[in-house]
Chain A
């Protein structure tokens, strides 16, 4: 039952964490906080959210922007209430329409992150696919899906990422595609690795792929992260924990799907996405 004490785990040199300067702003007390402090804060916030749900309060679909265990939220969340725009009362709002993309914006190779260099990237080759729909269940057709991720060793091809895991000369980790007529997207890539960051002492992000999605309206814009089933880092990650409803967290985890695995080639994961936010109802002629 007794977890290993802090003194047993060797302290990593400072350079092993991702450079994230504002994660430790000058005004915060010096010295890394232990995971246990973050765990206690998360547990308290989840308990409070569970009580609110039991009491019949609204169940937030998205993280609150003020989620203290993720330290970088401290100075970056608005404290004023947001101004609400009711789509039904303001149907001319520009945000109820949105940008469009087309065949000129992507190339066929963009959806295969394993074929962007001369050689094959290292790692576990995977297919990630799913459907993008709006809240009413309508497929989001012909829209742009963008992904980016760390390589199999847990390192981004970004100059600011100083995690001393190897870069892979055959992997950049950026992909794009347009959804098809059923709202489906498909990427071929390698499974990303977990990596350390500087939110607190010995903090590690569970493996994830970043997703950026456009709907039929700017209001439906979504940037999020997809996680892999069975990751032991889930309970310790303040970013995933920012979704205080366990069902909301579950929506960020893809499912292994043997139907998507290709024999002697790759594993397959399915992740369906539902975009929030109102849109104008376009008729066929409008589009």
Chain B
């Protein structure tokens, strides 16, 4: 329904977006994920209409909208720092869009109440934003956007200003809310865990280009670029070769049915385990010493010093055996080959 077609944008001589295309399906929760400077916020602002694309178009339900001003687009935005009107009460903040579209008075009261109920914020109608907590302000911002029944809701890092506990709680509520009202959400965030937890699909943006757009699971299991593999979760990137159905990377060799050539391999830390008697056939075994350990609660992150100077990160369940040399293994099926970009 919302479709971004080959959008490019530069600020001065600095390119911010390079021909980005993506489309959001009806009722989909799409997350635009990227580090600061990746262009993710600019992409959202182009969809909302606060920036004009340098090149490319934005379409919605068969209508071109990048030529329309923001107040004529059928979408609403939840801003990063909420941008609530400080001089208006909670009720008036939420009613703002309805008043702008000249909705009947009786309708306004009803719809504002409904929207506030949807975000579980009732009884604070007369408060000013400054009298609300961060979480409550967040809810007002949501209600203020949703009350207008947008076809797509844009959310610009809506949870970044909340503390960790509140953020986790709002993530759950955001997901539940999106399922309940069934409209498309487009969320911008730099937090990959948030993206994984909430999204139907994630669009990973890097330096203004779309690295990969996929479901969270596909993005995690089958990253198509080195950047995607490293940004989503942790990984060990190994440079190597494939020749005659055999992969070589550092000290490791395993059979692989893949075209010959240079290759990058991604091996997730949780796929490295201590060797056991019941190892599946074909597992690659190696000796390594534990150089460092990082306690993470349910697991321990180990830095492994392998033969040939290679260092790997492994994630093993706690309690882990003491420091020293141990035997480890991984299953070749868990290793993902990432195409090496030409040049």
A, B assembled together: no
